[in-house]
Amino acid sequence: MTEYEQIVSTECEDKYIRRTPYEYRKKMGQFFTPIHVADFMSPWVINNKSGKTILDPAVGLGIFFRSILKSHPEDAHSYKFIGCDVCDKIIEEAKKLLIGVNEINIQLMNEDYLISDWDKQYDGIICNPPYLKFHNYGNQKELLELFSEKMNTKLSGFTNIYTLFLLKALKQVKTHGRVAFIVPSEFLNSNYGKKIKRLIKESGMLRFIIIIDFNSMVFDNATTTSCILLFAKDDYNHEVEFINIKDIDELNLIHSYMLSYPLMRKKGKVIKIRELDEAQKWRVYYQELNGSKYKNLVPFSSFARVSRGIATGANKYFLFSESKRRKHGISKDFLLPCLSKAQYARKHFFGSDDFERLRKADKPIYLLDAKDMNDTNLRKYIQMGEKQGIDRKYLTSHRTPWYSLENRPPAPILAIVFNRSGLRFVRNEANVYNLTSFHCVYPRVSLFLKLELLMAYLITDVAAEIFDDSRREYGDGLRKFEPNDLNDALVVDFQKITPDLETEILALYDQFRSLELKGKDTSEIKNALNDCFLKVFKR
Ligand SMILES: C[S@@+](CC[C@H](N)C(=O)[O-])C[C@H]1O[C@@H](n2cnc3c(N)ncnc32)[C@H](O)[C@@H]1O
């Protein structure tokens, strides 16, 4: 292989992966950009009208520079490439590979980009930053102070490192310069992404978000969905275009389209930058919502009210198992049956048998309801709480008396707050109270809406699919629903269900319930229920 062939092939990355333990690469965030993705991003950056200095702040083995050398061999020497990487091993390899090739002008530095040369400016910045949890980074406190000072805003410690690479790059690009980043798309739809979305919006530089929803993963071994963010520090600062990409061929198709920027007919969904709302999940700008496929949808709040479960402020103190109850001699008159953890309700039905099983297993299933201070043992337990400072905790200190409970009667249906595989509802047949790992669902049961009909809908896949439009996303596929996410979510319009269909649904629901309680396979009945509701959606 000639020197040139060597740099344009990705054999060096393959070799590096083979030689370097996975754990080390993970710790350093060393997941390499596939060459076709680098080939897509690099033309954006070199097409800047500012000049020829191109920075890769997390250079690795320099795939982006190699992509430029490949596509522009004749004028590659006219660029000034600057690469930075905190890993000395990889920077040495990159030097061996790139320095002296084709007389290119290149500088490779073994530095931590986040803290080095903030004052330098570049014409183009191109980067696949390391995806590392902030708490895995060394000097977190100092780093946050540095960024807060430079960005003129307070940044949270939950930030992933890649967002900091992006913020710094946006500060370091020259007027008429360009920036291209590939990052996980998670921040677009999660709480922790709000701040970064606001700062991106305020920069006025965002031009394209290309959401890559490949079925195959973009990066070797890294389970993450990615997006390519393209920025330009030019005057076309009023619109941003969201483009969804499903496979690699589609990326090739939009390649020339991107090069015609800014004179182009729009392909994706165009949103005015000033209309971007950082508090929203940006999914609304680029994804067709599941619910948009169906007719006859109304807000869940038309049929039910969802509120959060009881927050005690000190679960360990307020919850009792059977043995703890005996130890303190607390009468059952002062204890309420209560579901405290999602794992205690694993099915769609929670009955008295399930409660009894938890009680026998000595799980914390009673909630203290201290309503009679004449009772000696109860009084002692309250005094013990005061000695332990339970009365001075945040929530308890805001209540009078501090041990009083929030008024949340048992809800007939519960919704599990966090989940990984779709929202699950539980029919609370045991009529127990619940803490905050469940939301309370109080149906507005009326002549036309039976509780069983509502529950029959809530267990279907189509209900979960439509509720999914309202989810909040956290790392590792963890999803959360706040009460208002559910109140505002769309559900089938129960008023559109004919009496015959209702009879069919209720019969199926009965079968589903008895099969599930016997621990038998429910999939066929669940599919049949799903089909019943699909009929209403398609009417
Ligand atoms: C996702 S890899 C990208 C490598 C290469 N640019 C590519 O796209 O294939 C991120 C690189 O950033 C480096 N890195 C991690 N933390 C860094 C830091 N604080 N400053 C500079 N580089 C860092 C890692 O060693 C790794 O090589």
Claim to verify: residue 142 and residue 50 sit in the same structural domain: yes
Q: CB within 8 A of 37, min separation 6: which ones?
A: 182, 218, 228, 251
Claim to verify: residue 38 and residue 162 sit in the same structural domain: yes
> In angstroms, rounded to a whole number, what is the distance separating the alpha carbons of residues 343 and 365?
12
Claim to verify: residue 279 and residue 307 sit in the same structural domain: no
Q: How confident is the model at residue 134, as a pLDDT? A: 79
pLDDT band for position 101 (50/70/90)?
A: confident
> Is residue 78 a part of any domain in this protein?
yes
| 350 neighbors 426 (Cβ within 8 angstroms) | yes
Q: Which residue has the higher pLDDT, 318 or 445?
A: 318
Claim to verify: residue 137 and residue 218 sit in the same structural domain: yes
From the number of C-beta atoms within 10 Å of its C-beta (0-12, 13-18, 19+), residue 385 rates as buried
Claim to verify: residue 45 and residue 90 sit in the same structural domain: yes
> In angstroms, rounded to a whole number, what is the distance separating the alpha carbons of residues 84 and 151?
22
Whether the pLDDT of residue 443 is over 80: the answer is yes
pLDDT band for position 284 (50/70/90)?
A: confident
Claim to verify: residue 158 and residue 194 sit in the same structural domain: yes
> Is residue 339 a part of any domain in this protein?
no
CA distances from 494 to 155, 412, 442, 498, 501 (A): 45, 18, 16, 9, 11
pLDDT tens for residues 294-334? 889 999 999 999 999 999 999 999 999 999 999 999 999 99
- Please identify, by atom number, the ligand 1 atom nearest to the C-alpha of residue 85: 22
Per the structure, the count of domains in the chain is: 2
**How far is the centre of ligand 1, averaged over its atoms, from the C-alpha of 220 (Å)?**
15
> Is residue 464 a part of any domain in this protein?
yes
What average pLDDT score do residues 120-138 get?
Answer: 90
Whether the pLDDT of residue 244 is over 70: the answer is yes
Q: Give nearest CA residue, ligand 1 atom 9.
A: 32
> Is residue 221 a part of any domain in this protein?
yes
> In angstroms, rounded to a whole number, what is the distance separating the alpha carbons of residues 41 and 178?
11
> In angstroms, rounded to a whole number, what is the distance separating the alpha carbons of residues 455 and 425?
8
Claim to verify: residue 163 and residue 63 sit in the same structural domain: yes
Give, for ligand 1, the residue of 22, 30, 159 to mutate: max count of ligand atoms closer than 8 Å to Cβ. Answer: 30
Rounded to 5°, the CA angle 125-77-168 comes to 15
Claim to verify: residue 98 and residue 144 sit in the same structural domain: yes
| 29 neighbors 59 (Cβ within 8 angstroms) | no
**How far is the centre of ligand 1, averaged over its atoms, from the C-alpha of 19 (Å)?**
17
Please report where in the chains the tokens 């990705």 appear, as a residue: 10
Whether the pLDDT of residue 502 is over 60: the answer is yes
- Asked whether the CA dihedral 77, 83, 88, 90 is positive or negative, the reply is negative
Q: Give nearest CA residue, ligand 1 atom 2.
A: 30
pLDDT tens for residues 15-61? 999 999 999 999 999 999 999 899 999 999 998 888 899 999 999 99
Claim to verify: residue 306 and residue 215 sit in the same structural domain: no
> Is residue 487 a part of any domain in this protein?
yes
Give, for ligand 1, the residue of 26, 68, 128 to mutate: max count of ligand atoms closer than 8 Å to Cβ. Answer: 128
Q: Which of 254, 287, 320 is the last residue of a domain?
A: 287
Q: Give nearest CA residue, ligand 1 atom 6.
A: 59
Whether the pLDDT of residue 419 is over 90: the answer is no
Q: How many helices (H) and strands (E) does the chain have?
A: 21, 23
Domain that holds residue 171: 3-287
> In angstroms, rounded to a whole number, what is the distance separating the alpha carbons of residues 144 and 224?
25
Task: Name all residues whose Cβ lies below 6 A of ligand 1.
Answer: 28-33, 56-60, 63, 84-87, 90, 112-114, 128, 130
User: What is the pLDDT of the chain when averaged over all its residues?
Assistant: 90
Q: Which residue has the higher pLDDT, 494 or 216?
A: 494
Claim to verify: residue 198 and residue 304 sit in the same structural domain: no
> Is residue 389 a part of any domain in this protein?
no
Claim to verify: residue 216 and residue 307 sit in the same structural domain: no
Residue type, 100: G
Claim to verify: residue 68 and residue 153 sit in the same structural domain: yes
Q: How confident is the model at residue 152, as a pLDDT? A: 87
Domain CATH number, residue 500: 3.90.220
Enclosing H/E stretch for 428:
strand 425-428
pLDDT band for position 225 (50/70/90)?
A: confident
| 139 neighbors 116 (Cβ within 8 angstroms) | no
Q: Which of 287, 321, 344 is the last residue of a domain?
A: 287
> In angstroms, rounded to a whole number, what is the distance separating the alpha carbons of residues 55 and 53?
7
Q: How confident is the model at residue 395, as a pLDDT? A: 93
pLDDT band for position 223 (50/70/90)?
A: low
**How far is the centre of ligand 1, averaged over its atoms, from the C-alpha of 131 (Å)?**
9
**How far is the centre of ligand 1, averaged over its atoms, from the C-alpha of 5 (Å)?**
24
Give, for ligand 1, the residue of 87, 114, 140, 172 to mutate: max count of ligand atoms closer than 8 Å to Cβ. Answer: 87
